[in-house]
Each structure stands twice: as C-alpha cells, then as structure tokens.
Amino acid sequence: MTEAPIVNRRDLLLASIFAVLLTVICGSIGLVVLSDPDIERAFQIPSIALQIEREYSGQVNWDRMFDAARKAMFADLDRYSDYVEPQTFRAMDEEMTGAYTGIGVSIVRDELGLLVMAVREDGPSAKVGLMTGDIIIRVDSTSLANKEVPEATELLRGVEGTSVQIGVYRPSTGDTLAITVTRQRINFQHIPFAGFTPDSMLYVRLLDFDAGAATELRRSIDTLLEPNKGNARGIILDLRGNPGGLFTEAFETADLFLEAGQFIVGTDARSRWNREIHKATGHDITGGLPMMVLVDGGSASASEIVAGALKQSGRAELVGDTTFGKGLVQGFTRFQDGSGVRLTISRYYLQGDVYLNQLDSVLHDTGTGLPPDHYLSLPETDPFIGEIERSLLISRFAHQHQDDIIAGPPLLGPDSSWGSQFATFAASQDFLYISPRTEAALIVLLTAQESGYSAEVLQRSRELYERSLQLDRRLFVDYRDYIEMRLRQEAYERKFGAWKAYAEVIVHERPDIRLAIELLKKKVRL
C-alpha cells in the first residue's frame, strides 16, 4: 500500500488563497470585458439576430441582412478597408500566378463608383485613354455608385477578348465619358525596359511592386552594370503611374540602393504588433551612382515608400509631379469560406517622421503626397491631350503611316511635320476640342444675345469666343512635340514591341527623362 504524501499546511493555505484570487481576478476580468461598450455592442449583434429568429413573425432574408450589416460596418472606414468576397481572393490568387484577365487598372472605392489609382501602361484601358484620377461610375448598364470593389471588379473582369462599356467621370474637367474597353490577359511585366541612355545613364522603368518586382529590378541592374563597370554615370528609376503593390517589395527595392542601417520606412499603428521600423540590410548595388526618381500623380503607396526612402535619405532626388498620397498599409484576413477582410492596419512614415496621411485616416484617406525636388508640368495632364488620347486617333494614324513615321517625316514643305499632318487627319475625323475657357466664352456670348445687350457688348463677346476657339485650335501646334513623340512611340511599339519604343523614342524624347539626365550630368561634374 502506497502512502499518500504529507501535505504541508502552509502550502495548502497558499494554494487556497491562490485559487480564491484566481477566481476573483477572472470574475473581475469578465466584468471589465462585459462593461466595455465596444464588446457589449458586439454581443448585441448575435443577440438581436437570435431574437429576430425566435420572435419575428415574417420571413427573414438572412443573406441580405448580413450583407447589409457588413456594408454598414465598413461604411465609416477609409476607402481601402472592405469586406473581400471569395471570388476577389481567388482573383488575387490568380494575380500571384503572374497574370489576370481584365481592363488593366488599379482601383479603390469611391462614393461615385471606382477611383482609378493607376492605369496599366501596356493595358487595354491605357489604349482607350483612361487616366489616373478618373472615376468609373458605370459598367455597361450597371451603376457602380453603391457597389463594393469586389462586386464591381467582377463586372470589369471577364472572358479575354470580350468588350465592356464603362461610364467615366473625370473630375479634372467635369466630363462624363462613355468608353469601350476590350478585356485581355495581362501578364505581369514589372520592367518593360531597362537600358542605357546615349549619355551613359542607366534608365529603368518599373510598372508595379507586385510579387517579384524587386528581384527583377536587381537582376536587370546587375545584368546592365556588370559589363559596363566604370562607364555608367547615373541611374534613373521611373515610377510614373506605378500604383504600388506589396509592402515587402517596396522595402526590398529601396534596400537595393541604400547602405546597411539606413532608415527606409516605419509603420505606426493602433496595435504595437504593427509598429515596426525597417532599415537597409545590405549595400547599394550601384556603388553610389547619382540617382533620380521619376514620379507623378499616379505614383502611389509602395512607390511612395521607395521614392520617399530614397529622397529622405539623400540618396536620390525626385523629378516630375507630386505623388498620389497614400501612406496607409492594408492587411488581409481570410475566413474558412474563402472570404475575408482588408483593413488599414497602419500608416507608414519616412525618415524625419514624414507622414503622407494624417492620424485620422477615415477622414484623410488620401494624403498630401511627396513633392518633387524638380517639378515639371507634363503634357499628359492637359485636358486637350486627354481628349486626343481618348479619341484613339494617335493609334489609328500611327497604324496607317507606321513605316513612314519610323523612317522619318516626308519633305512636303517648310511647315510639314507629322504633327501638322496629324492635325489635318484629326479634323477629317471631326475631332473638335472645346476647352472650358471656350465653353465659358460661348455662355457669355449667348447671354449677351438673349439679354439684348448693346452691339458693342455683342461684338466684344463674339471676339472673345472666336479668340478662344483659335487658341483651342492652336493646341495642335503647342503640343506638336508631344504628339509627334506619341506617334513615333505607337509606330515603334506596333512594329517592334514596347522595348524598342522605349529604346528608340521614349528614353530620347520624354521631357522628364531629359531633365533627369541633365541633372545627373551636373552631379557627375561635381
């Protein structure tokens, strides 16, 4: 027979006291938890549902009720936080494979529909003139005013080769447009071009920060620099229209150009688990080559992390226009049924505690953006160029005269150029651009006519209107260089592909690239 161990009374007493304290503490925690108003409201939701199920006399459509409840829960959050349908997660998984079928835009929710954050440079939407900042308000006959992003995205995606008509509101001009886009399979091509300019500057065009972008960038730079050591004079990283992507890709990209220990980005969040500081871990793969980064209003999110890290550290200067202004970081949670939530979990900051978004991201989900060190107003932002691009006349004209454009302009007279010939072609296609200034002048003229003003007032109003019309027609001359560059770009891309268009046209003729080259030359001299 085994004897029971002798229990020390003191140990028994301490154990009893501990048990009582544990009970009290647990009970207190329970009281605190139940007294928290947020948790109490969370308990109310299933309680109300249970009461409805037990007592309500009518029929209840629970699917519709829970959909409405979900929408209500996200209604007061920022535009980047939302419920994610299973099909959206499946689409995200598809994108991670390297391709998707759609219209080639990056979008977020807007009260009018879908805000276009960026237009894929080589995608179908770019070909029909869709622009960053446009709001897609309709897909075919379906309004997007109250649609969630997943549902709207399903409408935009479809079978490759099929067409979809979208209604677009353009805040910059106040116009509402109808645009037909043909869906296509869009392969992820992070870098359509990387090469040297005639001035021995390394130029790299980076379209996004999706999976594999940093690796492809490193490979491109290594491939070009290795056989040209000592000859490269500077580097230009082009992030125009780059909508961002993965946070890790942004960090790894910035890490390529910084020395170990240099600050890249920090995240500041409600949860201490989401508060982090990320610093460079390696060495600058370019060996400290002078650097310029091209940005514009379509450079967002991860692009701003990279541009901001390089700017704030003094590693590079920014050329172009102010960036989009998205300093928020989203996290994803997936549920067992394949759905989930996308929530803004933190906002990031750059060296020197520079935040793009204010603390209350619900009210300020679009921040101030990064201002460039060297500002340059680009033709793409002008409404006239927007109308030209949307008309697809450049593409049609370049297709008709492809080989001649590549060979050079014909010598038909002192004023002959492809720009002037294109203006004649546009007129033959009934293209007519009416600027907001001309519209206002027409209103003044009509008002003067209808109100019986004096002959002198009528004459001055008519002169104002006619002068404004002349200025509108002169825009073909004012933007001749840009139009001719775009004609050459289209002709080269149609015949040889995007890489050749960059090598033979874009790198040589884009004004922001030329400015970056001149700035780098000055640094090399110093």
Nearest-angstrom CA–CA distance, 143 and 113:
8
pLDDT at 453 exceeding the cut of 60: yes
Confidence of residue 67 (pLDDT cuts 50, 70, 90): confident
- Which percentage of the chain shows pLDDT scores above 90? 44
C-alpha distances in angstroms, 213 versus 244, 251, 300? 10, 11, 15
Give yes or no for a contact between 302 and 247, defined as CB atoms under 8 angstroms apart: yes
Residue 468 pLDDT: 95
C-alpha distances in angstroms, 170 versus 113, 115, 435? 12, 10, 14
pLDDT at 364 exceeding the cut of 60: no
Residue 98 pLDDT: 59
* Average pLDDT value for residue range 379-396: 86
Non-local CB neighbours of 419 within 8 Å, separated by 6+ positions: 476, 477, 480, 481, 483, 484, 487
Residue 490 pLDDT: 85
pLDDT at 37 exceeding the cut of 80: no
Radius of gyration of the chain (CA): 30
Nearest-angstrom CA–CA distance, 266 and 355:
10
Tokens 């008309």: give the residue: 391
Residue 119 pLDDT: 76
Nearest-angstrom CA–CA distance, 182 and 395:
15
Tokens, residue 20: 């009582």
Lowest mean pLDDT among 86-90, 217-221, 258-262: 86-90
Tokens 């939407």: give the residue: 125
Nearest-angstrom CA–CA distance, 190 and 212:
8
Residue 157 pLDDT: 85
- Specify the pTM: 0.74
pLDDT in tens, 236-294: 999 999 999 889 999 999 999 999 999 999 988 776 666 789 999 989 999 999 999 99
Nearest-angstrom CA–CA distance, 13 and 17:
6
Closest CA to 88 of 183, 155, 163: 155
* Average pLDDT value for residue range 107-130: 81
Residue 118 pLDDT: 66
HSE-CB of 97 using CA atoms within 13 angstroms: 11
Residue 111: count of CB within 10 angstroms of its CB: 9
Amino acid identity, position 461: S
Say whether 494 sits in a helix, a strand or coil.
helix
* Average pLDDT value for residue range 365-371: 78
Non-local CB neighbours of 395 within 8 Å, separated by 6+ positions: 127, 490
3-state secondary structure 444-491: HHHHHHHCCCCHHHHHHHHHHHHHHHHHHHHHHHHCHHHHHHHHHHHH
Q: Where are the alpha helices (DSSP H) in 128-242?
A: 149-156, 213-225
Amino acid identity, position 73: M
Lowest mean pLDDT among 140-149, 370-379, 427-436, 515-524: 140-149
* Average pLDDT value for residue range 108-115: 82
Residue 13 pLDDT: 46
Distance of CA 31 to the CA centre of its chain: 47
Distance of CA 220 to the CA centre of its chain: 23
Tokens, residue 249: 């890709």
Residue 158 pLDDT: 84
* Average pLDDT value for residue range 296-323: 96
Closest CA to 183 of 165, 161, 167: 161
Residue 258 pLDDT: 97
Give yes or no for a contact between 348 and 327, defined as CB atoms under 8 angstroms apart: yes
Non-local CB neighbours of 164 within 8 Å, separated by 6+ positions: 103, 139, 140, 155, 156, 158, 180, 181, 183
Helix %, strand %, coil % for the chain, to 5? 45, 20, 35
pLDDT at 10 exceeding the cut of 50: no
Residue 366 pLDDT: 63
Residue 35 pLDDT: 56
Residue 520 pLDDT: 97
Confidence of residue 2 (pLDDT cuts 50, 70, 90): very low
Closest CA to 415 of 467, 477, 474, 471: 477
Give the torsion through C-alpha atoms of 111, 116, 117, 122, to 10 deg.
170
Nearest-angstrom CA–CA distance, 89 and 249:
20
Nearest-angstrom CA–CA distance, 416 and 408:
12
pLDDT in tens, 123-146: 899 888 887 778 899 999 999 988
Give yes or no for a contact between 214 and 182, defined as CB atoms under 8 angstroms apart: no
Tokens 């979900």: give the residue: 70
Confidence of residue 421 (pLDDT cuts 50, 70, 90): very high
Distance of CA 165 to the CA centre of its chain: 22
Closest CA to 210 of 127, 292, 106: 106
Give yes or no for a contact between 201 and 239, defined as CB atoms under 8 angstroms apart: no
Residue 400 pLDDT: 85
